[in-house]
């Protein structure tokens, strides 16, 4: 039976554990050659060892995704080791949760560096490579898969830094898709719910997401999300770009983004006091947004 990612060469960031490690294992089992990127070299090596023991192909890369120059080495390693690059899966992330009134500058900067800048660096170098191939007249069938979050789509109490970064990643995904299609690059986003070190840091969440002991379907297993990642990496998804996919258990959905509503149009400048009634009209006919997580 053919595998969906046969021969595809993929960089996965933050692949030493959690979702990234699951993505690496599943993609390798589907025939991909994987660059396992993580600053924790022993963790990345353990994932590579697991993949190679199962007959797959993978290598460790420890490039710092927040450092633009160093992140180039991940792209170079993929090309030097496997001869090409077909996809970047931006997965790496951290938490620095605090209520906004208690948040420090370092809390904010750390999240923006790993999540938002981290989504830029390796992708930028990969795009330069693919654009060069396209300009040479070579066929390109490339993928960028970004990782957003429900926190970024609807907000999350105690995570204003994380939510802002993930919202930025959602907007980045839409913009990249609009700009990069001309080079043969599709860009989609992932909104995952799964059992990882980040999601189970709170005891209540760890209990809720625990693996069932009775052998029934493991709803929160990260591999459930990785199946969608494998499809997005594969040639089967070449017609899909600019979407944010939600994945949880056996469920897959498309997140529907911001849309303009029917305006109230005076046809001339509003007096500020008049806007009370105008806004009341707008609010009366809106479709309410989903609630902010934790509210």
Give 9-254's CATH code, choosing from 3.40.50.300, 3.30.450.20, 3.40.50.720, 3.20.20.10.
Answer: 3.40.50.720
> Which strands make up the sheet holding 33-37, listed edge to edge?
57-61, 33-37, 9-12, 87-89, 142-147, 185-193, 244-248, 251-254
Answer for the pair 46, 40: CB distance below 8 angstroms, yes or no: no
Catalytic: which of 63, 148, 162, 234? Answer: 162
Contact 146, 93 (CB under 8 A): no
pLDDT tens column, 254-283: 998 888 889 999 999 999 999 999 999 999
Tokens of 158: 């105690």
Chunked mean pLDDT (size 10), the chain, 295 residues: 88 97 98 98 98 98 98 98 98 95 98 97 98 97 97 93 97 98 98 79 70 83 94 96 94 90 93 93 89 87
- Catalytic pick from 166, 226, 234, 237? 166
Catalytic residue among 148, 149, 156, 160: 149
73 CB-side CA count, 13 A: 15
Active site residue 102: no
The pLDDT value recorded for residue 7 is 96
Q: Is the pTM of this model over 0.85?
A: yes
Q: Is 162 a catalytic residue?
A: yes
Average pLDDT, the chain: 94
Return the domain boundaries, the chain.
Answer: 9-254
Reply yes or no on whether 76 is catalytic: no
């Amino acid at each position: 039976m053919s595998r969906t990612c046969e021969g595809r060469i993929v960089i996965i960031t933050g692949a030493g554990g959690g979702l990234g490690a699951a993505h690496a294992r599943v993609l390798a089992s589907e025939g991909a050659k994987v660059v396992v990127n993580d600053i924790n070299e022993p963790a990345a090596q353990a994932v590579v060892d697991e993949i190679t023991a199962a007959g797959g192909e993978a290598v460790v890369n420890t490039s710092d995704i927040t450092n633009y120059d160093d992140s180039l080495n991940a792209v170079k390693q993929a090309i030097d080791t496997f001869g090409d690059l077909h996809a970047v899966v931006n997965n790496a992330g951290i938490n620095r949760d605090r209520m906004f009134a208690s948040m420090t500058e370092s809390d904010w900067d750390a999240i923006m560096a790993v999540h938002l800048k981290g989504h830029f660096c390796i992708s930028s170098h990969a795009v330069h490579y693919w654009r060069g191939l396209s300009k040479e007249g070579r066929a390109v069938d490339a993928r960028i898969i970004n990782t957003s979050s429900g926190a970024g789509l609807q907000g999350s109490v105690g995570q204003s830094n994380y939510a802002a970064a993930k919202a930025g990643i959602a907007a980045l995904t839409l913009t990249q898709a609009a700009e990069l299609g001309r080079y043969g690059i599709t860009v989609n986003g992932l909104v995952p719910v799964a059992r990882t070190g980040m999601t189970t840091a709170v005891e209540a969440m760890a209990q809720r997401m625990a693996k069932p002991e009775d052998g029934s379907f493991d709803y929160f297993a990260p591999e459930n999300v990785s199946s969608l990642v494998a499809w997005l990496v594969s040639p089967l998804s070449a017609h899909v770009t600019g979407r944010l996919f939600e994945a949880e258990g056996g469920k897959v959905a498309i997140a529907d983004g911001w849309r303009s509503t029917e305006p109230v149009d005076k046809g001339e400048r509003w007096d500020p006091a008049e806007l009370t009634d105008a806004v009341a009209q707008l609010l009366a006919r809106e479709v309410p947004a989903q609630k902010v997580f934790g509210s």
